[in-house]
Amino acid sequence: MRVSVARRNLFSDPTRLAISVGGVAVAIILIIVLLGIYGGSSEQMSAYINNVDEDLWVAQAGSPPPVLAVPGKWPKAAATRGRVR
């Protein structure tokens, strides 16, 4: 029975196989960590917006939504908030 070239290359050098598997594992772990950070920060920003006692948010035309914006990068006019009475 013939052994495929890929299998022969993978198992010919155990050190290279271990390094490759470790690299893929680290990449997957980093992706999971970044997804967790993104999910947590999105949840916190949404909680802030939902818990602020404002009836109206005023923003400059073309400014990003507050959840997607980077704090400190907004123009002053885009961060103006007001209450409708």
* 8, 25: one domain: yes
The confidence score (pLDDT) of residue 1 equals 60
Residues 1 and 29 in one domain: yes
Give the torsion sign (CA, 60, 62, 68, 69): negative
Q: Same domain for 47 and 58?
A: no
User: What is the domain range of residue 41?
Assistant: 1-51
Could you tell me the CA-to-CA distances from 50 to 12, 46, 56, 67, 78 in Å, in that order?
57, 6, 12, 11, 18
Into how many domains does the chain fold? Answer: 2
φ and ψ at 18, to 5 degrees? -65, -40
pLDDT digits (tens, 9 = 90+) for 33-84: 999 998 888 788 777 777 777 777 777 777 766 656 555 555 555 445 554 4
Q: Say how far apart CA 50 and CA 68 lie, in whole Å.
A: 15
